[in-house]
Amino acid sequence: MGGLITRIVADGAEAAALLRAGALVAFGTETVYGLGADATNDAAVAGIFAAKGRPHFNPLICHYPDEAAAWGDVVPNDAARSLAARFWPGPLTMVLPRRADSRVALLASAGLDSLAVRVPVGVGGLLRAVGRPVAAPSANRSGHISPTRAEDVIAELDGRIAAVWDTGPCAVGVESTVVDLCGPVPTLLRPGGVTRDALEAVLGPLAEPGTAIRAPGMLASHYAPDAPLRLNVTIPRADEAVLAFGPTAGQFQLSASGDLTEAAANLFTGLRVLDALVRAGGWSGIAAMPIPESGLGVAINDRLRRAAAPRGS
Ligand code: TXA
Ligand code: MG
């Protein structure tokens, strides 16, 4: 890999032209920066896996400008239509049966008979200009922290991708909620920007994923900083850099007022900043203060647990 000069482009038209030509282009969605490629171009999709060092069994989400475009590649059911009406554009990904005539590269869905689709906020114009589904995982190297700023994408993928469209910091800060609608009962595969309560208000009770890992990307160790991370720390050691939440100060404050929306938006920047602090010397690791397990706190705690999990799992 490497050898490319990664450019920061200022406008969506240029990003769209590059994507149409088969190049890899990162762009900000409301959740995190995605590493986009024309999902119908086998070589471009293969390039995503190579640039990220992503295992080929881990399928990608396809992005669309609107609901009608998404239904071109999957078969929606009533639950999917209700969720689309309520949450799209927005931080919700639906896993649905892939249409037999879909032109999405088989590699994008890792050979599964399902496909993950999403209509994000803020990049509708780009997606419309591309005119094809855009496959986009988070724009980090596999296992690393998702980027929420253009500079984080450069830190992760400089020299491996053609361009980054700098769309500013991401508003939500954690990835989309992934819900599997292929079975009789909707199943929550990944907590994210749309809370479980909000989903259940539309769908009724959700099922828990079975023991088989249905979202193949949900490995125990993920979103991992280099530094060791301790969770639910109320009394940090003197040499720990503190990821603070609430009135007590720390080396990085997620939200002094204890606001979970603000904390989610700051989460991955906080992990990157503290990781850099530990790497610079003087600190033994990161200590994260407790975050309530409600609303967006569920997604925040999910990412923190994966960031703290033993590596290589
Ligand atoms: O917010 C987001 O979802 C961001 C932005 C860029 O859209 N994207 C993102 O993609 O987080 P990624 O690849 O980092 O995570 C996608 C997750 C993975 O856990 C993957 O295994 C799961 O969705 N997934 C994708 N296709 C699937 C499928 N057909 N069945 C089950 N899980 C699937
Ligand atoms: Mg990811």
96 is a domain residue: yes
Strands across the sheet containing 92-97:
7-9, 163-165, 25-28, 33-38, 134-135, 61-63, 114-118, 92-97, 177-180, 187-190
219 is a domain residue: no
Q: Read off the tokens for 206.
A: 């959700």
Q: Compute the Cα dihedral for 135, 212, 57, 169 and give only its sign.
A: positive
The response to whether residue 301 sits with its C-beta less than 6 Å from ligand 1 reads: no
Residues 48 and 190 in one domain: yes
62 is a domain residue: yes
64 is a domain residue: yes
271 is a domain residue: yes
Residues 174 and 268 in one domain: no
pLDDT at 313: 47
CA distance 225 to 246: 22
Helix runs in 186-252, H state only: 196-203
The total of other beta-carbon atoms located within 10 Å of residue 6's CB is 18
269, 149 Cβ separation under 8 angstroms: yes
**Minimum-distance ligand to the CA of 94?**
1
79, 181 Cβ separation under 8 angstroms: yes
**Closest-lying ligand 1 atom to the alpha carbon of residue 140:** 14
- CATH number of the domain to which 272 belongs: 3.40.50
- CATH number of the domain to which 194 belongs: 3.90.870.10
Residues 303 and 177 in one domain: no
| Pocket perturbation via mutation, ligand 1, pick of 56, 138, 165, 214 by most ligand atoms within 8 A of CB | 138
| Nearest residue by C-alpha to atom 5 in ligand 1 | 34
The closest of 223, 222, 238, 225 to 284, measured between CA atoms, is 238
The response to whether residue 194 sits with its C-beta less than 6 Å from ligand 1 reads: no
Strands across the sheet containing 285-288:
229-230, 285-288, 240-245, 252-255
Distance 148 CA to ligand 2 centre (A): 12
206, 196 Cβ separation under 8 angstroms: yes
Domain that holds residue 185: 7-203
pLDDT at 220: 66
Distance 144 CA to ligand 2 centre (A): 8
pLDDT tens series, the chain, 313 aa? 557 899 999 899 999 999 999 999 999 999 999 999 999 999 999 999 999 999 988 999 999 999 999 999 999 999 999 999 999 999 999 999 999 999 999 999 998 999 999 999 999 999 999 999 999 999 999 999 999 999 999 999 999 999 999 999 999 999 999 999 999 899 999 999 999 999 999 999 998 776 554 555 566 667 789 999 999 999 999 999 999 999 999 999 999 999 999 999 999 999 999 999 999 998 999 999 999 999 999 999 999 999 998 875 4
Residues 176 and 117 in one domain: yes
Residues 300 and 259 in one domain: yes
The model carries a pTM of 0.94
Distance 131 CA to ligand 2 centre (A): 24
pLDDT at 217: 58
CA dihedral 245, 147, 310, 306 (to 10 degrees): 60
The response to whether residue 137 sits with its C-beta less than 6 Å from ligand 1 reads: yes
63, 137 Cβ separation under 8 angstroms: no
The total of other beta-carbon atoms located within 10 Å of residue 46's CB is 15
The closest of 289, 283, 271, 281 to 241, measured between CA atoms, is 283
Residues 199 and 271 in one domain: no
Residues 248 and 139 in one domain: no
1 is a domain residue: no
Domain count of the fold of the chain: 2
Residues 48 and 149 in one domain: yes
Residues 59 and 199 in one domain: yes
